[in-house]
Amino acid sequence: MTIYHNPRCKKSKETLQLLRDNGIEPEIIEYLNTPPDKETLKELLTKLDMNTKAIIRKQEKEFKDHYKGKDLSEEDYLDAITIHPGLPERPIVVDDDKAVIKRPPENVQELLA
């Protein structure tokens, strides 16, 4: 299991602790320090069964400053995330061919079942 983690995010910390409480020590990717490339993002989106626009945090300053009100393509959103890795909802937990955005962290139960 892998978690795309932000150690400063309360929900991300709660999700990591929930995994550990269930005996799982996931691979931790601090995505702000090691942002996923476009191919990895595409793989994550396939596992999430979502498009890029659906995972964007539209309240983020970077989104408001650079992208709000623009008609962006899927490729544009991918580019935005590679430039501003804090834009996606978080955390994202991946287990093999399935991934889930864990807001709230209790949703991780889907992958633990």
Question: What is the spatial distance between Cα 17 and Cα 34, in angstroms, rounded to a whole number?
Answer: 21
Please identify which of the residues 9, 24, 32, 72 carries the catalytic annotation: 9
Q: Using alpha carbons only, what angle is made at residue 72 by residues 70 and 73, rounded to the nearest 5 degrees? A: 165
With beta carbons less than 8 A apart as the criterion, state whether 108 and 14 touch.
Answer: no
Question: What is the spatial distance between Cα 96 and Cα 1, in angstroms, rounded to a whole number?
Answer: 7
Residues found in the chain:
113
9 among known catalytic residues: yes
Question: What is the spatial distance between Cα 77 and Cα 51, in angstroms, rounded to a whole number?
Answer: 9
Active site members = 9
